[in-house]
Structure 1
Amino acid sequence: MKKRLIGAIALFWGFSSSIYAQKVEFTEYDLDNGLHVILHKDNSAPVVTVSVMYHVGSKNEVVGRTGFAHFFEHLLFEGSDNIKRGEFMKIVSQAGGQNNANTTQDRTYYYEVLPSNELETGLWLESERMFHPVINDIGVKTQNEVVKEEKRLRVDNQPYGRFAEEVFKRLFTNHPYHWQTIGSMADLDAAKLDEFKAFFKKFYAPNNACLIIAGDFETEKTKKLINAYFSAVPKGTAIMQPQVTEAPISKPIIDSVYDANIQLPAIITAYRVPGMKTRDSYVLNMISTILSEGGSSRLYKKMVDDKKNALQVGAFNYSLEDYGAYITYALPNNNTSLNDLLKDIDEEVKKIQNELVSERDFEKLRNIMENNFVSANKGVEGIANNLADAYTFHKNTNLINTEIDIYRSITREEIRDVAKKYLSPNQRVLLYYLPKSTQ
């Protein structure tokens, strides 16, 4: 039971780590149709990653038609004019590779990891997905059932599976972050085929995407292959990302949620904070590290080790493009009341707000960030994803190398001031996440 909330959090944590590894060499350029290409050459192993990130997520949907971006994560495996239905993944497997895709509120990411002599296969597959996928009633109906089963497995029947939904629909009232990436099954059922086709045409164009090749390849040969497979894809209309602002939260939003899939209650707080492109978001990441990263973190040591009143406790910055949600949570041990857990969490937050982190703890914190920086990029697939994130969200691909400098420049005073600015009890959602009898 103690691992279930963190498992549910992992399902919805739709962002990758924002701390990258040691210096990554790359080249980048644009095709005439607007496709941004990033090449990272690493000949240390005969493996190559081919990936495409589209700047489209659930925030690009509209009320009444939610779930489209996640739906296309599945639908674009159905096949194309040149790939028979159901053959996409078979081709990858037969080539000795693996592939997958994932969707967040802000982007959709597809990738293949292949033996380097199968690079052209990966380029062909991704160009087929972008150029002329088959979008028909058969595929829509099939993937509709797949998405429904995924929702049953990962949300409806998952312990604490609705925590993100319950938090976000209270934390956001105007912004499309109000709904979850998986969307509404009723919306998908009601959508017409022409609506799916229109969504694809608008968002899955080369000028709303970046192509990343990372691993073992010959640069000039790869550029020629990219041009051969992608240059003919027509450019789409320019995409304007949503610009929606939320009024500040000025008083606590307190509510209870009941879940028939759990036996232990949880206490959850969530604060609306700035998005990933802001300096304050980096500071909040450091605050999370102080509070709950590792066994010596403040919340874990106090509540799990010393007082033993919590089975599990944590804090993390759920960082998205436009906003973030700073979340704390705890599961009780020994029948501890949820309010007592909340009091202990708030005490530790107040310490950060009112006292400078000690020089010793600050040095430890910086060492953790440095260690994360060194270890984050352990494979070409991870590097490809991080390059895509840096370009898509920051339009600065070299952030993969320089982001650690932001953390190095953050001061103890900034940590205190950012905690004061955003982590006030008057600015949060407070949820009592409670068991519900199946009777």
Structure 2
Amino acid sequence: MTKLPIKNIPFQLAKSLAIGLTIVSLAACQPGENSQEKNTTAADTSNKKPVTEQRSSQVSTSAAELAQKYIIADLHVDVPYRLENKFEDVAKATESGDFDYPRAVEGGLNAPFMSIYIPAKLQEEGGSKALADKLIDGIEKLITDSPDKFAPGRSVAEVEAAFKKGLIALPLGMENGSPLEGKLENLEHFYKRGIRYITLAHSKANHISDSSYDENRPAKGLTEFGKKLITEMNNIGIMIDISHVSDEAFFQVMQLSNVPAIASHSSARHFTPGFERNMSDDMIKLLAEKGGVIFINFGSTFVSQKSRDNWDKYSAARKAFMEENKVAQNSEEVKQFTAEYRQATPFEFATTEDVLDHFDHVVKLVGIDHVGIGSDYDGVGDSLPTGLKDVSTYPNLIQGLIDRGYSEQDIAKILSGNLMRVWKQVEDYAANN
């Protein structure tokens, strides 16, 4: 395994040295985004993996240079909750996970939105706000402990300033609005703490919105508080994230918001019919009509129907085994069942080409100004496509875009230009309201 010798050198120099270097990794957590919670357990496979993913030998000098030339923003990286489960110093090379500083430098990543993920179960048990504050504390400590590597990313200006200084900005997005607890004063609290987008719901309906994963939809879209919240998010300058919400909630957001919204980590339903967690063509068109952006999720079960079918068959078999043997999901019996099942029927990973198909589809549907990157690194377990296994591999994506005829200007928009446009619109609206 080759490690980059960069942890004690300036970031911009490290970025220059990174061009052309090869590093090795293979993801190994739980395949697919679970419909109930994040895949942070090792119930289905080993949670140990080599540090880095080998960059494709087909990456050209042009692709590697573009990865270093432009700000790369990834709208959804689940580092905070990963570290809550098992702490590792991501300022150094880590033994697991999809993100650390050396790999981010290798891939050219400059502005990963740190996901303040709140499990839906806390909506009933309480503690959402406390966990959100704790996760934010963790990112603030990371920045304080490694000021030569990381910086806050509370605005477009801060992200751009960090890039010029050779630092990785760490903007914050909250995945699940449950920490607001129905109080608008909590919105102001989290804005002051640096939250710059809020995913209204996660895997269950909450006091804001119905969820695409939850058959129980009491609000038939947004709740009354949720409708008020849209206006207040506009006014304070927090982007509205419609990933995870029900279709009904999405269309209501489109009616109510005075600024563009985002889908921080969703893909195109065109390729996964019936999977409501992804966006339909009509939704993508309306999102774009309102100026918004869909940031493509890399998870195999988001981008490939074959991967979804494989995962669904496994899930059904596991459920039947659990019911027949009266055992829990995290039991040793289920771990053994999974190991034997996967030995006989390996998970079918998507490819970089599958992910690129989603970018192509959105561009053909609504144009280049409405698509970006929302990988869900550290959030979808071992379901990442071949060629895009961790944050070192953005050059593989860039190479694919080049191969498909995207211009440098187009690629710059995908990497961060489209995000910056929407984020600036949200900032400007709030400044005048």
TM-score (normalised: structure 1) = 0.28
Which of structures 1 and 2 has the bigger CA Rg?
1
Structure number having the greater strand percentage: 1
TM-score (normalised: structure 2) = 0.29
